[in-house]
Structure 1
């Protein structure tokens, strides 16, 4: 009975979350079209709305740990669900994401992502995207901010294992930007698929920087070890054993 009630509350929460995305996206769209400030304001406001409603509707709180970067760096983040995107964007002053190109055609999300400077990438063509991004930065056309990349390339369920892709090291080296590894336990409470949301404390943790210029093999080994170790610790703190069953 308790599970059924929590599932129903999760359904209401998810429903209102997407309704509010549509309302805010449409209401503020004229401002966002003519001003990047308007696009950032709308996205930040939406993040605050979801974080607030998650707290009182489903008992899910969000917390940021570690030093929040404010300069131009890469954020190499563990990605477990939509909630970690919201926590990261809300915490950073000017986040922009590397995202699948198909999302540009998604209603509201695509238009706002373009306006805040997200970088669309074709599947299987990340090398070309990295070259273009480096060229844009060199020409001064890339919007300043914190570039968020998911080194595993997709959402990964709590406890699952997926390889880290070398593009993160390449990009850090080519852009000359330090990398901030970022861990999370969000997937324990908000799974990558489905309606059900668990109450608890979802954490995103910014870890100490990895300097650019390291040999790529060393960079990737350090990145994977630090993100996975910290994420596993956060998941255990949340009562989930990443090496077994919750």
Structure 2
């Protein structure tokens, strides 16, 4: 499993996911972790920049996925749960909630960024699970509140390497769960879901949809109960609690 995969420390690079893509194009697909000291072009979901403050964790789990796209589609949720599991170990007082589809937050402040990318086909189908975690610093100027492991712990005793060591194990467990079935993963995710049962706003192609976050579908879609009583499934968009960010 992934806690046994080799870890490659890459120094300062553009981004660990971009490095994974380069390796895949060169035919160098290997189950491993790619870790940067800093990133000059880190990115998140929807190609948003991910600010790479020194001392934080910038990593990608790069691996062949025999289950193909069906398993890969579960990984945003599995990876968010792995981050939550990690935080429960290294910052046990933190109440991490998961904002659909894959943000890990504490009191509406973002702790991590996750970007799942895939490529190839058949035996060469690969996944790059990019995971950035705020360990020592909470980036500013991102347009949303952020937090970090040091702030959640109230001390500076944990390093990015310490966080990675725990994350490798929690990710391995959640990856195995994702490969088995989505339903137990879905149930675990819903237990930690931010905004479940509350009114949320989802920006879908710049058009806001407001409704009560009622459930998550078997394919991971967000299920909203609209004001007119109808249910709507949303498969891509930015979610915010009404009255919050």
TM-score, normalised to structure 1, is: 0.23
More strand by share: 2
More helix by share: 1
Bigger RCO (CA 8 Å, 6+ sep): 1
